[in-house]
Structure 1
Amino acid sequence: MEETIPFKNLYSREYQGHKKKVHSVAWNCTGTKLASGSVDQTARIWYIEPHGHGKVKDIELKGHSDSVDQLCWDPKHADLIATASGDKTVRLWDARSGKCSQQAELSGENINITFKPDGSHIAVGNRDDELTILDVRKFKALHKRKFNYEVNEIAWNVTGDMFFLTTGNGTVEVLAYPSLQAVNTLMAHTAGCYCIAIDPLGRYFAVGSADSLVSLWNIKEMLCVRTFTKLEWPVRTVSFNHTGEYIASASEDLFIDISNVQTGRSVHQIPCRAAMNSVEWNPKYNLLAYAGDDKNKYQADEGVFRIFGFESA
């Protein structure tokens, strides 16, 4: 039995600017700007008012020579954003000017990127299962480590003293930070773990897997407290809302599931027309940005992302 939707004034908006599909969407720390990264080799910055419907201004970030697979904002600076690309570079941009301020050439095609919560370091994962930690000020590599198993999405906990790797073995590897010493191997899923999200209140982390489940873990005890079972395809992306009350997850199913974190119940589903690549909640409002493999009627990539919003009842 689905709960009645505890939301009012549901709305949805579409934003189009990219020429090819969007791989990644991310909000800045103040929730005023959204970035999108695309197969068209660009990222874009969008100024989005939470309840406004006016013309949206966007800035194009140009310079990569391959797909922008993931991007992330500086958690302490509302105008600094890092992009990871298949062209083997990581770039730091000023979102006001659209100019690239730093660039690091790494050894492989970059697919995952995340900032340490204090904004001091960036972790990057590539297709060769190599992890690089960059010092943000010097934009130089502090650590490099190659793993002999498939490494997918990566994340720090909110205090920055633990680092998580999701793996193709169905495990989550927990490392101490900054030593990167192994602390724990969590047998999380029966198939590869693809994505991870950290609860903004620091209580939980969630892991999405190829087995179509999302598992919720108590971060203190490193125990799985529940699973979310609505999706039927491999889970590609997960995100907690700003209050830690809801979790969104998406896959190749033609909907995004929003579930209550405490009860595990599905409270709303957003229909979509294609597999989703990225979902992310705004850090201040109940706005969910999402993007996927949408095609237009000519079967070309649409290059759009959408935002779903609501007010709590």
Structure 2
Amino acid sequence: MAPLLRPRASLQKDKFAAYFAPLKSQFYSDPASSGRGSSSSVIRSIAWNPLGNLVATGSSDKTLRVWNPEKPTVRFSTELKGHAAAIQKVAFNPVKDAELASVSDDGVVKFWDVRTKNCINEVKGLGDAFTLVWAPDGESLIVGNKSDKLFILSPTQSTPLSSHQQSVQTNQIAFCWSGKKIFVTTGEGQTRILSYPDLEPVLRFDYGLDSDDGKGKEFRLTGHTSSCVTADLQPTGRFLATGGTDSIIALWDTTDWICRRTLSKMSGPVRSISFTFDGSFIAGGSDEEAGVHVWHTETGEHMHTFKSAGPTPVVSWAPTRYCLAFSDNGVGGLRIAGVDPDRK
């Protein structure tokens, strides 16, 4: 029987492990991918649509697929063909449940209508693009490349609205919920807080006006001893989580920008992090460690580890339910924990 997504409900901390312990993750096998567990077919990105009833995966072998979580058989999924190189990032428009954006090593961002399988727009010439994030209103998005240039795109225009060269190694990006600020992770182990869409520092020190523009030194979140590579904002907006190659997840209070706690159970670089829909729990994934660790946000207590056959660099909680999608490099495919037809 196909797995069913359970209705939205919050779990108490003391019930989390007991709830998930009996459940096995559902595997979604894609025979179109070339070679299970091979480096040529690993999933690079996972994205839920706003309703939580579709999951998109982008892989290093150019496979872009949209799954129905209730039906793990590949014949119920949709493959979107058109990219000429490895897919680095996929993301659904946050206000349109059927509009998907994808970016590839071919330097092209494609916009898809997943109902018709049609590519409805594309933007070319973006270089070695590897990061993509939508603004909360769904009217624009940011794409970054390995030359540390950020492009602001419109889903309806074939050329960028603007481009912004960054002075430091720039990794993944997250938006604040108002859409007026972005959080930019850097190779220096810091996170920059920039305005959107002009991408100027939001916070500066009010002493030592020794910056080039005379406005004061830029304030940055400094909490990692090596490259900071991923960030996720809690749905309640209270905490910003950042993950680094130092195996640390830092939780920043968004009121005073103090690091309230660090989560350090992971043994490999933190490649992705994701909050549950209610912000109560946070998961982290690594490309050097099997299993997905989950912590309680408020206390930092380790709650559970979802098992996998191999490393799990990509993790993503569903936007409406306690369902965790994650890549499993050991078998070269997608897993979702929390879909179980027999559990009501």
Deviation at 1:45, TM superposition (A): 0.6
User: CA separation of 1:60/1:310 partners in 2, compared to 1, >3 Å: closer, same or farther?
Assistant: closer
Equivalent pairs, count: 303
SS of 2:243 mapped into structure 1: strand
Deviation at 1:290, TM superposition (A): 0.4
What does residue 37 of structure 1 align with? 58
TM-score normalized by structure 2?
A: 0.83
Q: Which runs of 5+ in 2 are unaligned?
A: 1-12, 35-40, 203-218
User: 1:26 pairs with 47, 50, 55, which one?
Assistant: 47
- Could you tell me which amino acid in structure 2 is paired with residue 158 of structure 1? W
Alignment of 1:87-236 (within 5 A): 87-183=106-202, 184-236=219-271
Distance in 2 of aligned mates of 1:53 and 1:92: 24
SS of 1:7 mapped into structure 2: helix
Contact 1:117 1:156 in 2 (8 A): yes
Q: For the pair shown, which has the larger CA radius of gyration, 1 or 2?
A: 2
Distance in 2 of aligned mates of 1:275 and 1:22: 11
Distance in 2 of aligned mates of 1:54 and 1:130: 39
- Could you tell me which amino acid in structure 2 is paired with residue 11 of structure 1? K
Identity %: 31
User: CA separation of 1:272/1:54 partners in 2, compared to 1, >3 Å: closer, same or farther?
Assistant: closer
Asked whether 1:270 is paired with 2:306, we answer yes
Distance in 2 of aligned mates of 1:15 and 1:108: 31
TM-score normalized by structure 1?
A: 0.91
Calculate the aligned-residue CA RMSD, in Å: 2.1
Asked whether 1:7 is paired with 2:16, we answer no
Deviation at 1:56, TM superposition (A): 6.3
SS of 2:313 mapped into structure 1: strand
User: 1:285 pairs with 308, 321, 338, which one?
Assistant: 321
Q: Deviations over 1:41-79 (max 9, x none)?
A: 121011123xx7788611111100000111000000000
User: CA separation of 1:106/1:222 partners in 2, compared to 1, >3 Å: closer, same or farther?
Assistant: farther
- Could you tell me which amino acid in structure 2 is paired with residue 29 of structure 1? P
Distance in 1 of aligned mates of 2:19 and 2:295: 12
User: CA separation of 1:222/1:6 partners in 2, compared to 1, >3 Å: closer, same or farther?
Assistant: farther
Contact 2:29 2:74 in 1 (8 A): no
Deviation at 1:143, TM superposition (A): 2.0
Richer in strand (by share):
1
Contact 2:28 2:73 in 1 (8 A): no
Q: Which runs of 5+ in 1 are unaligned?
A: 296-301
- Could you tell me which amino acid in structure 2 is paired with residue 305 of structure 1? L
Q: Deviations over 1:207-253 (max 9, x none)?
A: 01111100011122222111111101111110001110110001112
Contact 2:124 2:159 in 1 (8 A): no
Distance in 1 of aligned mates of 2:220 and 2:18: 37
User: 2:280 pairs with 223, 245, 255, which one?
Assistant: 245
Q: Deviations over 1:65-106 (max 9, x none)?
A: 000111000000000000010000000001111111100013
Deviation at 1:165, TM superposition (A): 0.7
SS of 2:267 mapped into structure 1: coil
User: CA separation of 1:213/1:3 partners in 2, compared to 1, >3 Å: closer, same or farther?
Assistant: farther
